[in-house]
Structure 1
Amino acid sequence: MSVDGGQNSRRLGCKTWPEASLALERSGSTLVWPFGAFEQHGPQLPLLTDALFAQRILDRVLEGLPEEMPIWALPTQAIGLSPEHRGFPGTLSLSAELLIRLVKEVGQQLAAQGVQRLVLFNAHGGQIGLLQTAARELAVETPAMAVLPCFLWSGVSELKSLVPADELANGLHAGLAETSLMLALEPSLVGEQRPLDGDHFSETAAATPPEGWSLEGSAPLAWFAADLSHSGVVGDSRGADVMLGSQLETALVAHWRRLFSSLMRSSWPPQADPRRI
């Protein structure tokens, strides 16, 4: 029998097939699929940083939802699209085509089993657009199932009061926020170094975007970490500490718990328009 209570009660993989059958056929059945990456995160953070963030935050979010809500987590997809970090040992990257195919094949099977909503809960900034594309393609083929791609750090208003504006805008990888959050979630995996590196932060950066262009934002570039940073960090990790990490964790959990509560209390998805079927 499946283990009841705690995190396991919210994990689909801990159910037997008869239990899964009953769960997925419930009205409003929702599955959340965490996505991370297996890539360098500077000399101080582990390769599995994004995957760990997605799973740990999601666990806390789901634990705090009312027990009667029919929502469960799928196993974390820990290897993603990470070509921007090639050249740093340990980084692994799947092709965009393979990840899109993965999302579509798994999603089609879930829809056939009665799942009404699939949330792609992504913690890797390098595959935001890819998962949005995958979600759109899947949604075309599964009109009765809503597909919702989201990014862990997006829309969290509390970040503005916790992270300095310059770091919030330009600390794109393994900087203050990620290092602090890992100190709160898994301090044994955090090394002692606290780099300041990457375009906009370091005079030793190998490249600077042309005027009017940026690494992210309204006129972004397809950047590679090795062109910008010697350490792999793009940001300022020097002020990272466990207190900030705990505040970030609280903000992330509260934000996503609000959003998932709203989703579970809604009637989304709407009935599909026959014109798009």
Structure 2
Amino acid sequence: MPKPQRRLDRLAWPEVRTGLLREGATVVWPFGACEQHGPQLPLATDALFAERILAAVLERLPDALPVWSLPVQAIGFSPEHLGFPGTLSLSAELLMRLVEEVGCQLADAGAQRLVMLNAHGGQIALLQTAARSLRASRPALAVLPCFLWAGVDGIGDLIPAPELQTGLHAGLAETSLMLQLAPDLVGSERPVDGEHQRLDAAVTPPAGWSLEGDAPWAWMSRDLSDSGVIGDSRGASRSLGEALEAALVDHWCDRLERLLASDWPPRPEAPGSVPRW
């Protein structure tokens, strides 16, 4: 039998109506960005990662599961990279409105869950805020904002600790993954920049503060890098990219399959019923 069509936008409306009324109907919306990724990677890096990894995950999931994807949101919230030509950034207000309008329409069509699979680190918090706002508008819709790279088992074994901590953008991991997924889009340069090159006494965070993490700084990429890279891409290889792809696909297959096999998150009680708390 042919594999089911997992792209929601490639179905006819009667199929969408039937599909989204199934118990546990889940839509996954991949999010990327159109922003500089150094001189060696394309502007579409995050969007390509979100789209390709999700497609591989959906291809592997059991055919019977009620899950579909939306087209990738290829322009996101990227003001930190506007110092480099080619970067395009939506305002925070516009991206939040986009999430709410699309999410409300999916909920009204019957979808029970919306998973936002985001590959751009600069919009993690914004999509979490948008998810909360959408949930307030449509309480029956479970909204799950996720970051592609977060919580993936084995990543720490593949990327050296210094790069894992400070390779924030277009470094070893992203360059390697692009060599695996779209090698024709990878340039020959292998920059080392960011904390590896630019942080001196003037910009080194004092004790207890950091670029990201528990006490972060709202940095702009020009603060840290002349090339746009924040990390060390010199060791990038297709073999490392293949291992990263396998880890990401395995992780998200497991996460989505567990979600779709469950009744979680709980749906609100019907209007007029007594709350269970």
TM-score (norm 1): 0.94
State the 4+ residue runs in structure 1 displaced beyond 3 angstroms: 203-207, 273-276
Three-state SS of the structure 2 residue aligned to 1:39 is: coil
| Alignment partner of 1:54 out of 36, 50, 56 | 50
Where structure 1 has 5 or more consecutive residues not aligned to the other structure, the ranges are: none
| Residue matched to 1:19 | 15
Over 3 Å counting, the alpha-carbon distance change for 1:203 and 1:116 in structure 2 is closer
Q: Return the letter of the residue paired with 1:215.
A: L
| Residue matched to 2:139 | 143
| Residue matched to 2:98 | 102
Q: Return the letter of the residue paired with 1:123.
A: A
Three-state SS of the structure 2 residue aligned to 1:245 is: helix
CA deviation after TM superposition for structure 1 residue 140, in Å: 1.1
| Alignment partner of 1:111 out of 96, 107, 127 | 107
Identity over aligned pairs, percent: 64
Equivalent residues in 2 for 1:155-234 (5 A)? 155-199=151-195, 201-203=196-198, 207-234=203-230
Alignment pair present for 1:89 and 2:56: no
Three-state SS of the structure 1 residue aligned to 2:71 is: coil
Q: For residues 266 and 204 of structure 1, what CA distance do their matches in structure 2 show?
A: 47
Where structure 2 has 5 or more consecutive residues not aligned to the other structure, the ranges are: none
CA deviation after TM superposition for structure 1 residue 267, in Å: 0.5
Q: Return the letter of the residue paired with 1:267.
A: D
RMSD: 1.6
| Residue matched to 2:235 | 239
| Alignment partner of 1:36 out of 32, 49, 52 | 32
Three-state SS of the structure 2 residue aligned to 1:148 is: strand
Q: Contact (CA 8 Å) 1:40, 1:232: kept in 2 or not?
A: yes
The count of aligned residue pairs is: 271
Q: For residues 79 and 187 of structure 1, what CA distance do their matches in structure 2 show?
A: 22
Q: Contact (CA 8 Å) 2:78, 2:88: kept in 1 or not?
A: yes
Q: Return the letter of the residue paired with 1:227.
A: D
Q: For residues 271 and 77 of structure 1, what CA distance do their matches in structure 2 show?
A: 27
CA deviation after TM superposition for structure 1 residue 207, in Å: 3.4
| Residue matched to 1:72 | 68
CA deviation after TM superposition for structure 1 residue 203, in Å: 4.8
Alignment pair present for 1:10 and 2:24: no
1:63-103 alpha-carbon deviations (Å, 9 max, x no partner): 10000000000010000000000110000000001001110
| Residue matched to 1:154 | 150
Q: For residues 95 and 249 of structure 1, what CA distance do their matches in structure 2 show?
A: 31
1:47-71 alpha-carbon deviations (Å, 9 max, x no partner): 0000000000000001100000000
CA deviation after TM superposition for structure 1 residue 272, in Å: 1.3
Over 3 Å counting, the alpha-carbon distance change for 1:204 and 1:222 in structure 2 is closer
TM-score (norm 2): 0.94
Q: Return the letter of the residue paired with 1:202.
A: Q
| Alignment partner of 2:261 out of 233, 257, 265 | 265
